[in-house]
Chains A and B, each alone.
Chain A
């Protein structure tokens, strides 16, 4: 196999770590030295070789450990995976999309053999070899959406399209930035985004919805979003906030470089063929400050972005209390030199940190 899967955890002893390869391909989300909400959509049709944009559904060294973590979350709380009754067909659409994409993009890891509606799916990293009848739920151990999303990194929101709106009518959500599928299921696009500050007033959601309603089959789109997480905790859910919230107070100037993670979401959007639903995968990538600072451009830029971020956003993203400590750490990696445009680290051409 081409990818060496990590033995690691996203809870308790937190043995999660990024290899040099993973750091280099980390999706640093800031293309300039400041940040404000925007409809930062682009076509999802590949990207630089080895980047997280290259494949339709990126598989990396964290795959097996993330799937193990998801299974634990679902065992503790089955409400993290729900599908309203009219969304089963969309679940089959998603199963097909992921199986076809992964078997084509990673033929050494995944195989799909189709003979009419008799399908055989082989997932080598997870040791799965199942034969089932497409569109017959009784031949799978879970519903189609749950079956395939237990084998795919990232959260999956299934959006039904009707009344010129999108409705969050199904999903598997275990690596979320503090929102509850169980609470939001059934809501429309404006309702589930209701708690986000500033963006409504800027017309972001009206424009984003218009874009998403028009996404066509075979023409997926993508954007990056981000927040901050203390410890590499995937399951930052509101359901468990009373348990993990206190971890935010464990940062010290000594441990911040290891404990504080930038949490980046690669959000993609695919139109599904039978149901006309949209699937909205939200893939979470974590990188701690120390690892990010190995890229001089990212060090300079992250300091400037966090320093100048409007207070409402720092509050909404949950790090307003820790911002002074972050800035104290980050300022040491900002020598005031200009940065090149774009998100890529440009390690070869960007000057090293001047001390």
Chain B
């Protein structure tokens, strides 16, 4: 499957990589939706013997294929939020030799990256690969509410209802891009929404 090429952007915008198998006793792999394909691409029996896969299917049918890889541990959860405490628990036991692989949407990778950082793993040591939806996790700078899976610009904050434009400015700590009121200087003058990358 072809990967989305993100346009050049500012320095705070994360740059995602391509997963590759690395040496290690334990391999923690966290993915959502099409992110499963990035794991399938690098899976080997040796890697899977030490792998713990945490997968959020989001209605995709990749679960069976991942399970067929026969990883040492496999978990499929209904949402990132539902799996968060499990991820935290697993990271508590992470050893120096643990490799972390994140794949899928920016929202999934960003939030899991946050957990890794909180657990003491530098973000530069975590591998990532973007697959699937390019929708973003957005923080409203005004009310601080997070709106998930934002694919259009401008969009309406799901918490306070302001019309927000989508910035590329990104906070790793919040795992979110910044949304800022688009019609503050001319209330009601909101351009028609279009896809973020249109």
| CB–CB A241/B173 < 8 A | no
Q: When the two chains form their complex, are residues A186 and B11 in contact, meaning their CB atoms are under 8 A apart?
A: no
CA distance A183 to B141 in the complex (A): 8
A195 within 8 A of B: yes
Query: Would B184 and A200 count as touching, CB distance under 8 A?
Result: no
List 12 additional contacts besides A195-B169, A246-B187, A249-B185; criterion CB under 8 Å: A183-B171, A191-B12, A195-B167, A200-B10, A238-B180, A241-B141, A241-B180, A241-B181, A246-B185, A248-B185, A249-B186, A321-B185
Known contacts A246-B184, A249-B186; is-contact A190 B169 (Cβ 8 Å): no
Please tell me if B84 contacts chain A, counting CB pairs below 8 Å: no
Q: Does B65 contact A (CB under 8 A)?
A: no
Q: Is the interface of A mostly helix, strand, loop or mixed?
A: helix
With A186-B172, A238-B141: A192-B12 Cβ-Cβ less than 8 Å: yes
1/0 contact string of B110-143 vs chain A (CB within 8 Å) = 0000000000000000000000000000010110
Is A194 in contact with B169, judged by CB distance below 8 angstroms? yes
User: Which residues from chain B contact A185 at a C-beta distance below 8 Å?
Assistant: 173
A–B Cβ pairs within 8 angstroms, 10 of them: A183-B178, A185-B173, A186-B172, A187-B171, A193-B11, A195-B12, A238-B178, A238-B180, A244-B184, A248-B185
Is A242 among interface residues, defined by CB-CB distance under 8 A?
yes
How far does the alpha carbon of A245 sit from the alpha carbon of B142 in the complex, in Å? 12
Interface residues of A (CB under 8 A from B): 79, 180, 182-187, 190-195, 200, 238-246, 248-249, 321
Interfacial chain A residues near B168, Cβ < 8 Å: 194
Looking at the assembled complex, report how far the CB atom of A83 sits from the nearest CB atom of chain B, in whole angstroms.
Answer: 13
Determine the main DSSP class of B at the interface with A.
loop
Residues of B within 8 A of A190 (CB): 11-12
B86: Cβ under 8 A from any A Cβ? no
- Asked if B194 is at the interface (CB within 8 A of a chain A CB), the reply is no
Please name all residues of chain A whose beta carbon is closer than 8 Å to the beta carbon of B67 when the two chains form the complex.
none
The contact of A194 among B13, B173, B184, B187, by CB within 8 Å, is: B13
Contact A241 B178 (CB under 8 A): no
Question: Does B159 reach chain A (CB closer than 8 Å)?
Answer: no
Whole-angstrom CA separation of A239 from B11 in the bound complex: 22
Indicate whether A180 sits within 8 Å of B178 (C-beta atoms), given known contacts A185-B173, A191-B11: yes
Let me know if B148 is at the binding interface, CB within 8 A: no
Residues of A within 8 A of B172 (CB): 186-187
> Which chain A residue shows the least CB distance to B180?
A238
**A248 — which chain B residues lie within 8 A by C-beta?**
185
Specify which of A191, A246, A248, A321 lies most central, judged by the most chain B CB atoms within 10 Å of its CB.
Answer: A191
